[in-house]
A and B are shown apart, each in its own frame.
Chain A
Amino acid sequence: MSEDEFYKRAEVVKLDTLSDVNDIGKPWRYEEDGLTVTRTSPWSPPGCHPVGCGLKLYVDGEGKLVRVEGDENNPVTQGRLCPRCIALKDYIYNPARLLHPMKRDPKDRGNADAWEQITWDEAFDIIKGEYDRITAAYGRESIVVFAGTGREGGTFAPYGTMCFGTPNFCYTQSGYACYTPRLAAIAYIAGTTYPEWDYAGALPNRWDDERYELTECLVVWGKAPLESNPDGFFGHAVIDTLRRGTRLIVIDPRVNWLATRADIHLQLRAGTDTAMGMAWLNIIINEDLYDHDFVEYWCYGFEQLAERVQEMPPEKAAEICDVPVEDIYAAARMYAQAKPAAIQWGLAADQKTDGMQNGQVTVDLMAITGNLDVPGGQILPGTGAGHNESGFGFEKGVGEELQKKMIGLEQYPAYCMIILNAHADLMLHALETGDPYPIKMGFYAGNNLMSCTSMEPQRWHDAIVKSLEFCIGFDTFMNPSIEASCDIFLPLSTVAEREGTVFTHYAPCTVTAGFMHKAIEVGETMTDFELCYELGRRLRPEVWEDFASAKEFMEALRLGKKEGGKYFDEVSQNVVCQIPVDYYKYERGEMRQDGQPGFATPTGRVELWSTAFNQFGDDPLPYFLEPEFGPANPELMKEYPFILTTGARTTAFFHSEHRQIAYLRELNPDPIVEINPKVAKDLGITDGQWVRLWSPFGECVEKARITETVDAKTIHAQHAWWFPEEDGNEPNLYGNFRSNINNLLPNDHFGKLGFGAPNKCLVCNIEPIAESYDTDMNLIWEKFGKLV
């Protein structure tokens, strides 16, 4: 297939609620009632997963964005929008938005009033001076780039490789417990990337396309797709499919909205998913419900898997998971007998020490039931998928010698090599101790780690502030991490102020590809591509000789072209494109670089017995690890009697973002902890009362919601809270550590391959407190509601 066919304008699928007066068929830019309308597929910032929901941006004669509307030309979102893009104006013109570079003396770190506005030139001069000084003394490996999630910068590896030339691009969540363990599991087991549920997103007639088969049974496992639009999947596609008759199984310790619509909800004890998955495999194999042909011709190691799962009879799993055994049988049978069936595996898979094994059992289930690469099952990306974002420019920018110094590479190659990232937990140790070498300079690439992505955030805070001699923040707003530790602040463009691309699932499983168009200019901001290019050229001109502009760099990285931006300009006019999808590719040699049938694994098959796991020193077959912090440790449970699970999302915020957007904050003004009514009664906690939560690692306060969404052994607490309306000076730091649930979560409890962390399955205790920290919404409105 030629590339031109890739980026064709997507066909529109009109919603019947949309009026006959609409904008279907409009070009990427047009005029309406004296306003210029720009159609765009946004991605970052604000942070979000790369769905690229269609947007229409209405700009007046003075260049001001006056109106934001969902674009009905997008075949997946069809004009629909979540509250965060609806409130985009309030983000862009928020009085707290920062629009100019600033500097601050390193001795004034933590002083919110000590920033001084400077020009980009001065900022670059300061950075160049510090870069040269620090790299001369300590080497380029002494620089860490803090990666994040959901922002383009958050996974923008060229910052590390090409701009700073350090091997230490580092997502700081313990065990990289977010998405990458699942990607690693499918890569090692099936030689492919993200196996998204086939929601007909790439088919021209969507659900009614003749090639599509409606999913009979969808398993939503440790995931809240409606709220999170996970990894670029448009969450409400689940609603679209429910309306068409798809039946649901939900596996989750929490009763979420979807769970109450499920035929079967397995409300398992947090952290026991791998045992559940093994029990499903046990039932499906022992009851002969698996796809014999697929197993015989396309899988490797079935006998060994069959033997291994005998160790987990459903009765044993029922005890471990605290779920009725008949529900486990019913669910496994329903999943195996439905054709097609699909699993949406969520973040919860990654957030446990045996996260890789959780991923492994999930891929095994998809494989032995014959649901890989089938319509309405799991779509598998072929050989051409992805962008090699982490490898782009690596050789020239870092090189083999320096790569060897990547923190953690020697100990955890299965982690570091697959994502070209320094190991999170070992980076913390390096920052704290200077071992294996000192870390002296830092850059926040779309990340607010002290509020969101780091466990024991006070430890990270102290280590960063102490270890780094120089640190740069690049963002749209001030945040606690930058306030605490940066010496230079650089202002970042939002989606309305930039050109760019958006590939669903971060490109490894592209369903739609979208293009961003610049509609407005605000302040002196830059995009990630612009900063990486402009700063990179100053720091290391020799690396950037191949690119004449930031746009050319973007075109090369995202579209694999080098036409001086002309190719981008041409295809971007299509705004959103459906990337052709195909099924049964493994039969035709489209899953392997050598063009042979099969999968890109050493055996050419889906490896139920994993040669890769084996080679990296892990068990080649799945195994369940009882959560270290839990009932397995009765002494601990005496002091911390509740299972703590964290991080369920809301539509109001993207992780630590959006707290200063009044209309969004109004949806969820305070950090909420969910407590079962029985527990609340026992402990004397009333609905709406503030409570203290503590674990062996730390404590925080949140506001109680008394609800049966959690059972009596489980507490669920919201994450990523800070309070931009409060004093930013140390030690308050916008209240960063007061309601920060990560205070209660540890580092250093990952799995054998270096992946996984118990962030959704810890323990805690809880008590009511007399104080109230209720948010004053009038103050939020006063401070952030008057746009500038």
Chain B
Amino acid sequence: MATYGLLIDYEYCTNCGSCQVTCKEEHGYPVGKTGIKVLSDGPWKIDETHWNWNYFPVLTDLCDLCAERTEKGREPMCVHHCLSNIITYGTVEELSKQLVDKPKQFLMVPQYNPIEAKGAFVPSSKSTHRAAHIEVQGTGKASYAVHRHDTKVGEIDETEELEGA
């Protein structure tokens, strides 16, 4: 099955917030949660007259690429509403070809709730080494250390206890 993602032309992201708000509306995410979020770098001066100031809409672990919509052949809501029209939905195969068209783009493939996506823990129940039936004799004595065995910090002698038993 093809892998889908979003191609983002961040050259023209203006941080309008439409992607975040439409994502929250679509999924009913409360305050503090979202499937897409705009990160920023800058503004800081490259030199006297030029600035670095970029916004990056990035997909969070709550992005499901609007599965309900894309199932019907429609584009995700952030694609639909983006004011700068900078988000394209498609297969990684198609989108990666478009990366060469212009600079300042990135391609992102989200994973919805990645821990959950791994599924519930299922024990493998592989056969393991079977415990051997061998008789063991105790002496009643042991010494304990950390780091190195020669920096002994304590010892016990339970010989009497053992003998008493």
Contact = CB atoms under 8 A, between A and B. Distances in A.
Contacts of A236: 14, 16, 83-85
A780 B50 CA distance: 39
* Chief secondary structure at chain B's binding surface: mixed
Nearest to A72: B80
B74 A82 contact: no
B51 interface: yes
A547 interface: no
Contact of A83 (B18, B30, B51, B73): B18
A615 interface: no
Contacts of A777: 31-32
Interface in A10-55: 15-22
Interface string A721-739: 0000000000000000000
A107 interface: no
Contacts of A666: 31-32
A18 B84 contact: no
A548 interface: no
Given A21-B74, A666-B31, A79 B80 contact: yes
A89 B25 contact: yes
A306 interface: no
A781 B51 CA distance: 36
Q: Give the bracket for the number of chain A residues in contact with chain B.
A: 35 or more
Contacts of B18: 80-83, 86, 651
A226 interface: yes
Interface in B51-92: 51, 53, 72-75, 77, 79-85, 87-89
B140 interface: no
A111 to B, nearest CB: 31
Given A68-B25, A663-B21, A708 B45 contact: yes
Contacts of B82: 17, 80
Contacts, number: 120
Contacts of B106: none
B111 interface: no
A257 B21 contact: no
B80 A780 contact: no
A260 B83 contact: no
Contact of A18 (B25, B51, B80): B80
Contact of A239 (B43, B49, B84): B84
A313 to B, nearest CB: 23
Given A86-B25, A255-B43, A663-B24, A781 B30 contact: yes
A416 B42 CA distance: 45
Contact of B17 (A83, A89, A259, A260): A83
A239 B14 CA distance: 9
Interface in A683-718: 707-709
Given A17-B75, A70-B80, A81-B81, A785 B31 contact: yes
Interface in A649-675: 651-652, 662-664, 666-667
A257 B74 contact: no
A242 interface: yes
Contacts of B89: 17, 19
Nearest to A669: B31
A778 interface: yes
A724 to B, nearest CB: 15
20 contacts: A16-B88, A17-B82, A17-B89, A80-B85, A82-B16, A83-B20, A83-B21, A239-B12, A239-B85, A257-B15, A260-B50, A662-B31, A663-B21, A666-B31, A667-B20, A667-B21, A708-B44, A778-B31, A785-B30, A785-B31
**For the complex of A and B, 4 pairs with smallest distance between CB atoms:** A21-B73, A260-B51, A83-B21, A781-B31
